[in-house]
């Protein structure tokens, strides 16, 4: 009897106060500028939790250990607050899409999936409307970054909760940069190309994945393409790759390719990390994981490792692509309210801030208020990663997000276009024509 009364009290409490604020008895976590801010002015949506809810979550395997540690800690906190249970299934990040697709197709499986890029747009009709929690979180935490709105909402309705992105920035060796005559990392494409060549002359080639590297290859190739003002498709989805801007991007890439270490055309995601840590390359694009690994195992390299945002091209503003992670709930879930409550709870300051801080900059959240977390300034080398999501465009820019944009990325159309021209000596016209055909095939469906 006593237990039942306790449950009732807890449930009532959640109903009236909503989210994770319930569990947020003041913790001793350092929130930096966020500490003490009155976020509770916005009323959370009232979610009547199901009885003893068990929420199954499918998510990507952690890139760094503290991610899992704090994610699990927060899950246990949610369990304490709600009396529910969270079952996390961690799988390789590249396998999330096929597994989630299977769940969408058969109508069973995890309640929540932490998927990538266009995933929710492949089966939007099968997803629960999460407008209430996204609106609440947005209002409370300074709004969502633009790309989050683009990725998470469809026809004015939120279909997924943006969790943020393991961003990619330029990772470079400061001493070698100085040796090449630069005090700081170049800010424009033109200077960047020159710098890469000088580094190569000094015996420090650069390395960017032009192989089928899901993250590094796609992010690098798209960011470079967009920085020149080029794009795969127009707003209406018509093919736009065959343009003077694309040709400029191709020429620029070929010049950088001449400064690359041999073999980049075959690089998969792990190659640049290993080459950088083995002193083989001076510059690459990557998440903060290289620096993280260096701090643990190669302190000398870590001391000399710095980060910079991608250089700005003729387009005149940052135009980057990063991995983008969003959580979505399937309509078949037996615990829809608990699932929504769980996601809301996880993005509340008391849970999200320690989680992000613990990941040391690996994941950049999509809520603007979290730009002020101490992790972004505690080590100045982390700062470029703070702006990843702010500087990001969406996959398939500037066209619609959906199966076509997913297909173009999955087939490495942009990466292969550059690789064909730079590494396989295919003529520029032919390389662009091949890409054009593949993009047209994807978007005509």
Partner 1 sequence: MESESIYDRPPGMRQRFSRALENPTVLGLLFVAPAELLLLVFLAYPFVLGIWLGFTDTIVGRQGHYIGWQNYIDLVNDTQFWLTAFNTFFYTVIAVILKAVLGIGLAVVLNRDFKAKGLVRAIVLLPWIIPTALSALCFWWLYDATFSGISWALVRLGIIDHYINFLGDPWNARWSLIAANVWRGVPFFTIGLLAGLQTISPDLYEAADIDGAGSWKKFRRITLPLLTPLLTVVTVFSTIWTFADFQLVWIITKGGPAGATHIFGTLSYERAMQGGHFGMGAAISNFMLPVLVICVLIAFMFLKKED
Q: Which of 53, 68, 97 is nearest to 340 (CA)?
A: 53
- Return d(Cα 368, Cα 34) in angstroms, integer: 12
Shortest separation between residue 116's beta carbon and partner 1, angstroms: 11
Tell me: does residue 257 bind partner 1 (CB under 8 A).
no
- In 263-304, where do the E strands start and end? 283-286
Cβ proximity to partner 1: between 176 and 362 the closer is 176
Phi first, then psi: give them for residue 258, nearest 5 degrees.
Answer: -65, -20
Cβ proximity to partner 1: between 88 and 434 the closer is 434
From 419, 432, 436, 439, residue interacting with partner 1 (rule: CB under 8 A) = 419
Name 398's Cβ contacts closer than 8 Å, sequence gap at least 6.
Answer: 231, 233, 234, 235
From 42, 315, 378, 410, residue interacting with partner 1 (rule: CB under 8 A) = 410
Name 76's Cβ contacts closer than 8 Å, sequence gap at least 6.
Answer: none
- Return d(Cα 314, Cα 225) in angstroms, integer: 11
Tell me: does residue 275 bind partner 1 (CB under 8 A).
yes
Number of residues this chain uses to bind partner 1 (CB under 8 A): 45
From 42, 149, 268, 315, residue interacting with partner 1 (rule: CB under 8 A) = 268
Tell me: does residue 348 bind partner 1 (CB under 8 A).
no
Tell me: does residue 411 bind partner 1 (CB under 8 A).
yes
- In 317-403, where do the E strands start and end? 325-329
Tell me: does residue 370 bind partner 1 (CB under 8 A).
no
Cβ proximity to partner 1: between 120 and 318 the closer is 120
Strand 54-60 and strand 112-116: the pairing is: parallel
Return the number of other C-beta atoms located less than 10 Å from residue 357's C-beta.
21
- Return d(Cα 400, Cα 443) in angstroms, integer: 10
Tell me how many degrees the CA angle 220-391-222 measures, rounded to the nearest 5. Answer: 25
Tell me: does residue 407 bind partner 1 (CB under 8 A).
yes
Shortest separation between residue 85's beta carbon and partner 1, angstroms: 27
Binding mask 283-322 for partner 1 (x = CB under 8 A): ----------------------------------------
Shortest separation between residue 365's beta carbon and partner 1, angstroms: 26
Tell me: does residue 264 bind partner 1 (CB under 8 A).
yes
Give the Å distances, CA to CA, from 351 to 25, 30, 189, 408.
11, 12, 39, 36
Which region, judged by CB under 8 A, interacts with partner 1, from 25-33, 189-197, 205-213, 240-248? 205-213
Which region, judged by CB under 8 A, interacts with partner 1, from 262-270, 352-360, 369-377, 388-396? 262-270
- In 109-181, where do the E strands start and end? 112-116, 153-154, 157-158, 161-164, 169-173
From 30, 142, 263, 374, residue interacting with partner 1 (rule: CB under 8 A) = 263
Structure tokens at 441: 């095939």
- Return d(Cα 240, Cα 17) in angstroms, integer: 50
DSSP, collapsed to helix, strand or coil, labels residue 91 as strand
Shortest separation between residue 193's beta carbon and partner 1, angstroms: 21
DSSP letter (8 states) at residue 389: T
- Return d(Cα 11, Cα 48) in angstroms, integer: 8
Tell me: does residue 109 bind partner 1 (CB under 8 A).
no
Tell me: does residue 174 bind partner 1 (CB under 8 A).
no
Angle between helices 244-258 and 428-443 (to 10 degrees): 120
Shortest separation between residue 442's beta carbon and partner 1, angstroms: 8
Which region, judged by CB under 8 A, interacts with partner 1, from 143-151, 179-187, 194-202, 206-214? 206-214
Structure tokens at 17: 């106060």
From 17, 66, 131, 266, residue interacting with partner 1 (rule: CB under 8 A) = 266
Cβ proximity to partner 1: between 21 and 233 the closer is 233
Q: Which of 324, 339, 334, 270 is nearest to 58 (CA)?
A: 339
Tell me: does residue 206 bind partner 1 (CB under 8 A).
no
Tell me: does residue 428 bind partner 1 (CB under 8 A).
no
Shortest separation between residue 16's beta carbon and partner 1, angstroms: 37
Residues in contact with partner 1 by the rule CB under 8 A: 94, 97-98, 101, 104-105, 122-123, 125-126, 210-212, 261-268, 271, 274-275, 278, 280, 403, 406-407, 410-412, 415-416, 419-420, 423-424, 426, 434, 437-438, 441-442, 445
């Amino acid at each position: 009897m006593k237990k039942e009364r306790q449950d009732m009290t807890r449930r009532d409490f959640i109903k009236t106060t909503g989210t994770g604020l319930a569990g947020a008895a003041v913790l001793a976590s350092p929130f930096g500028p966020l500490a003490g801010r009155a976020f509770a002015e916005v009323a959370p949506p009232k979610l009547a939790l199901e009885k003893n809810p068990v929420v199954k979550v499918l998510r990507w395997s952690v890139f760094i250990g503290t991610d899992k540690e704090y994610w699990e800690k927060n899950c246990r906190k949610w369990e304490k607050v709600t009396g529910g249970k969270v079952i996390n299934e961690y799988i390789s990040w590249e396998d999330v899409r096929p597994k989630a697709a299977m769940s969408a197709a058969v109508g069973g499986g995890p309640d929540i999936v932490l998927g990538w890029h266009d995933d929710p747009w492949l089966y939007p009709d099968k997803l629960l409307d999460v407008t209430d929690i996204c609106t609440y979180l947005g209002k409370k935490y300074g709004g969502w970054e633009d790309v989050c709105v683009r990725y998470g909402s469809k026809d004015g309705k939120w279909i997924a909760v943006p969790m943020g992105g393991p961003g990619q920035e330029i990772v470079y060796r400061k001493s070698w940069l100085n040796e090449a005559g630069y005090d700081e990392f170049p800010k424009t494409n033109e200077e960047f190309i020159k710098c890469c060549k000088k580094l190569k002359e000094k015996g420090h080639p650069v390395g960017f994945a032009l192989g089928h590297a899901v993250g590094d290859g796609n992010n690098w190739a798209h960011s470079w393409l967009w920085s020149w003002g080029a794009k795969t498709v127009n707003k209406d989805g018509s093919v736009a790759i065959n343009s003077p801007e694309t040709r400029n991007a191709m020429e620029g890439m070929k010049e950088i390719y001449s400064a690359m270490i041999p073999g980049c055309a075959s690089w998969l995601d792990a190659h640049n990390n290993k080459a950088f840590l083995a002193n083989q390359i001076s510059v690459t694009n990557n998440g903060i994981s290289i620096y993280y690994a260096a701090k643990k195992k190669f302190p000398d390299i870590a001391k000399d490792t710095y980060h910079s945002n991608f250089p700005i091209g003729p387009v005149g503003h940052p135009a980057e692509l990063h991995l983008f992670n969003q959580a979505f709930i399937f309509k078949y879930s037996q615990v829809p309210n608990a699932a929504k409550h769980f996601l809301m709870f996880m993005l509340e300051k008391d849970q999200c801030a320690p989680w992000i801080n613990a990941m040391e900059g690996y994941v950049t959240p999509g809520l603007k208020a979290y730009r002020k977390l101490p992790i972004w300034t505690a080590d100045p080398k982390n700062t470029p990663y703070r702006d990843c999501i702010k500087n990001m465009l969406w996959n398939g820019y500037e066209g619609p997000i959906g199966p076509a944009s997913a297909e173009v990325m999955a087939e490495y159309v942009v990466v292969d276009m550059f690789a064909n021209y730079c590494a396989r000596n295919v003529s520029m016209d032919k390389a662009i024509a091949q890409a054009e055909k593949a993009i047209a095939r994807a978007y005509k469906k």
